[in-house]
């Protein structure tokens, strides 16, 4: 249970190493190290506009540890949670504290891309592995050089919107669309991926609108949406999709213009607070609570029992990151003293189990995984992301040549170039 100093420690102890009893005694150094609690730093957001996602992240981590009695690979876990408030400078301060004060051998998080960028040099210089836990924290190689000490439980923001743009053009048959996305890194990257794939498939982005992350009212942007577009792509995070969709309906646009969104637009964590304004919204993601696998059904049942709502991708992120750590520690015998060996073991993890399905990391530490096209509908009276199509084992490079991809400009307001604006 949580301690007042922010740690989560569960007291049950065992001397199993890597999940199995050893027939020989480990070395004195290995025994000393693996018998000590495993400190895991956890950067998340408990305050500010992104706090809804942070709450889900905490639930995912807590459920993982509850399932295992607070143990990973024979070691009691101390989950040291730090609130970054979505602030890059604070994220860096918290990261330095986890490394210098708590001497953690691994960190999971943070939630936002700009936070991940802010702590990149500290992770690289101090050689402490970081596993990012949301697409918002996954730094695209177009925006930043690869850091070998950073791995990702989920893919990049455009990795999920490439299939959505492809689906909009090829399956839905949309020709003209407007982008309405938040004016920060995550918003730019998701919108950029959607635009590239949509226009490559024959569509045209005819308008781009960029509300700030803390926009008090979306009316000025809703008033500008062209009436003759087939749909809009919305790129929002935290609690903002709730406000946007409600104002979209109030403005009389629902039913007239289709809405497609990034993973966070209708994530289960915010979907539970939505009403009919969300029905028929399309989105894409690595996860949906309705995934029909035994592992996911068990995951959903556990979160339902513990928190009385469905898990979303924010919930699955820390859970998957901890799965990666667990599988790596089975290889190292629970040992984290040899940081390069621990890092190598994590890079080589191949997850065939867990709530999001098969996952393997590419040479840059970014997962190759299934992407699901989803549509919000009422199922047994409850809003749910129903799965329409699966794009199997999508990489961060989509259909592009990796060597050429990383040479392109960073995603921004101006890239991809807006050749079809009207």
Residue 393 has pLDDT above 80, yes or no: yes
pLDDT (tens digit per residue) in 117-149: 899 999 999 999 999 998 666 666 555 678 899
How crowded is the C-beta side of 100, counted as CA atoms within 13 Å? Answer: 8
Residue 112 neighbours by CB under 8 Å, 6+ apart = 45, 50, 86, 88, 134, 136, 137, 185, 186, 237
User: Across residues 75-90, what is the average pLDDT?
Assistant: 96
Average pLDDT over residues 317-325: 96
How would residue 342 be classed by pLDDT, with cut points 50, 70 and 90? very high
Return the pLDDT at 403: 85
**Residue 301 has what pLDDT?**
97
Q: Which domains does the chain have, with CATH numbers?
A: 7-155+293-368 (3.40.50.2300), 158-290+370-405 (3.40.50.2300)
Looking only at Cα atoms, what is the longest distance across the chain? 73
**What region does 408 belong to: left with phi over 0, alpha with psi -120 to 50, or beta?**
beta
* 278 contacts 245 by C-beta, under 8 angstroms: yes
The confidence score (pLDDT) of residue 269 equals 85
pLDDT of residue 142: 57
Confidence of residue 384 (pLDDT cuts 50, 70, 90): very high
- Contact status, residue 127 vs residue 60, Cβ threshold 8 Å: no
The pLDDT assigned to 139 comes to 61
Q: Give per-residue pLDDT as tens, 162-185.
A: 999 999 999 999 999 999 999 988
> Which residue in the block uniquely carries the two structure tokens 């500010």?
48
- Residue 93, pLDDT above cutoff 60: yes
Q: Within a 13 Å sphere around the CA of 224, how many CA atoms are in the beta-carbon half?
A: 14
Do the strands 359-361 and 350-351 form a parallel or antiparallel pair, or are they unpaired?
antiparallel
Tell me the sheet residues that pair with 259.
232
4 burial (CB, 10 Å; 0-12 / 13-18 / 19+) is exposed
Token duo for residue 62: 């807590």
- Partnered with residue 208 across adjacent β-strands are 179
d(CA 58, CA 333): 27
Query: 10 Å Cβ neighbour count for 273?
Result: 14
Q: The tokens of 269 are what?
A: 């964590």
Mean pLDDT over residues 305-323, rounded? 94
- Output the pLDDT for position 52: 82
Which of the pair, 116 or 228, is modelled with greater confidence?
Answer: 228
pLDDT beyond 60 at 97: yes
pTM of the model: 0.81
Q: At what angle do helices 157-170 and 185-200 cross, to 10 degrees?
A: 30
Mean pLDDT along residues 244-264: 97
Whose tokens are 């960029």? That residue is: 210
Peptide bond into 309 cis (omega under 30): no
User: Of residues 277 and 8, which shows the higher confidence score?
Assistant: 277
Beta strands in 10-168 (DSSP E): 38-44, 71-72, 75-83, 106-108, 130-132, 150-152
For residues 150 and 57, give the distance between their C-alpha atoms in angstroms, rounded to a whole number: 19
Predicted confidence at residue 10, as pLDDT, reads 36
Write out pLDDT tens, residues 172-230.
999 999 999 999 888 999 999 999 999 999 999 999 999 998 898 999 999 999 999 99
pLDDT at 336 over 90: yes
What does the block give as tokens for 266?
A: 């209708």
Backbone angles phi and psi of 304, in degrees to 5: -55, -45
Average pLDDT, the chain: 89
Q: How far is CA 406 from CA 140, 154, 200, in A?
A: 9, 19, 18
Which is higher by pLDDT, 176 or 152? 176
Query: pLDDT confidence of 357, banded at 50, 70, 90?
Result: confident
Query: What is residue 66's predicted lDDT score, i.e. its pLDDT?
Result: 97
């Amino acid at each position: 249970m949580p301690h007042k100093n922010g740690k989560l420690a569960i007291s049950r102890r065992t001397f199993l190493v890597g999940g199995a009893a050893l027939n020989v005694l480990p070395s004195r150094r290995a025994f000393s190290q693996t018998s000590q609690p495993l400190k895991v730093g956890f950067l998340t957001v408990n305050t500010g506009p992104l706090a809804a996602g942070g709450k889900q992240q905490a639930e995912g981590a807590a459920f993982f540890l509850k399932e295992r009695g607070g143990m990973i690979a024979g070691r009691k876990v101390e989950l040291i949670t730090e609130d970054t408030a979505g602030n890059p400078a604070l994220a860096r301060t918290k990261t330095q504290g986890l490394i210098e004060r708590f001497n953690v051998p691994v960190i999971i998080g943070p939630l936002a891309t700009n936070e991940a960028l802010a702590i990149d040099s500290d992770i690289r210089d101090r050689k402490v592995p970081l596993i990012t836990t949301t697409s918002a924290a996954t730094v695209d190689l177009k925006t930043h050089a690869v850091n070998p000490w950073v791995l990702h439980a989920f893919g990049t923001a455009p990795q999920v919107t490439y299939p959505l743009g492809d689906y909009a053009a090829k399956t839905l048959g949309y020709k003209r669309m407007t982008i309405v996305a938040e004016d920060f890194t995550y918003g730019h990257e998701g919108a950029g991926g959607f635009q590239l794939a949509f226009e490559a498939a024959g569509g045209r982005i005819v308008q781009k609108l960029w509300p700030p992350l803390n926009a008090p009212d979306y009316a000025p942007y809703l008033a500008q949406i062209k009436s003759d577009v087939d749909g809009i792509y919305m790129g929002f995070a935290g609690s903002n999709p709730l406000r946007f969709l409600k104002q979209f309906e109030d403005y009389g646009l629902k039913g007239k213009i289709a809405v497609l969104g990034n993973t966070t637009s209708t994530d289960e964590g915010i979907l539970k607070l939505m009403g009919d304004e969300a029905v028929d919204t399309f989105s894409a993601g690595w996860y949906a609570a309705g995934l029909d696998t035994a592992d996911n059904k068990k995951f959903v049942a556990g979160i339902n029992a513990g928190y009385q709502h469905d898990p979303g991708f924010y919930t699955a992120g820390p859970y998957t990151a901890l799965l990666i750590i667990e599988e790596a520690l089975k290889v190292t015998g629970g040992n984290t003293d040899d940081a390069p060996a621990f890092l190598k073991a994590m890079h080589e993890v191949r997850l065939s189990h867990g709530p999001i399905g098969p996952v393997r990391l590419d040479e840059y530490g970014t997962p190759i995984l299934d992407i699901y096209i989803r549509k919000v509908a009422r199922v047994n009276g409850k809003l749910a992301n129903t799965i329409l199509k699966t794009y199997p084992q999508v990489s961060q490079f989509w259909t592009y040549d990796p060597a050429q991809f990383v040479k392109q400009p960073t995603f921004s307001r101006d890239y991809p170039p807006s050749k079809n604006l009207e």
